[in-house]
Amino acid sequence: MKRIVFDFLKEKGVIDSIKNEFGKISLEVVNDGIIIAGNRLELIELADYILDVALADFDGYHSHLDDIYFFDKADKQLIVELKLGKS
């Protein structure tokens, strides 16, 4: 995964660097909603994962984010998938 969002924000001076260590990012299902909580750098990393899927070359490209691969704590798995053409 390329760090497009991170590198852009670093270049523009919005964030300093990765010196602010990553903490814990979580996904929690609460009532009828989903809460994704993390610090600034973790949420920027999530944006890069979503952008990676959005810029893929083929329909159906996807990324699974869960407590094994991405989140420190997750009640469920988050799947981001590219759908080209009509939904």
DSSP secondary structure of 24-38: --EEEEETTEEEEE-
Question: Quick check: is 44 in a domain?
Answer: yes
Is residue 44 classed as helix, strand or coil in its secondary structure? helix
Question: Quick check: is 61 in a domain?
Answer: yes
Structural domains of the chain, count:
1
Give the pLDDT score at 81: 97
Digits of tens for pLDDT over the chain (87 positions)?
789 999 999 899 888 766 656 678 999 999 999 999 999 889 999 999 999 999 999 999 999 999 998 999 999 999 999 999 865
Give the pLDDT score at 85: 81
Question: Quick check: is 87 in a domain?
Answer: no
Sheet strands (E) in 4-72: 26-30, 33-37, 62-65
Structural domain for 61, as ranges: 4-81
**CA 35, CA 3: separation in Å to the nearest integer?**
23
**CA 34, CA 56: separation in Å to the nearest integer?**
25
Tokens read off for 47: 């944006």
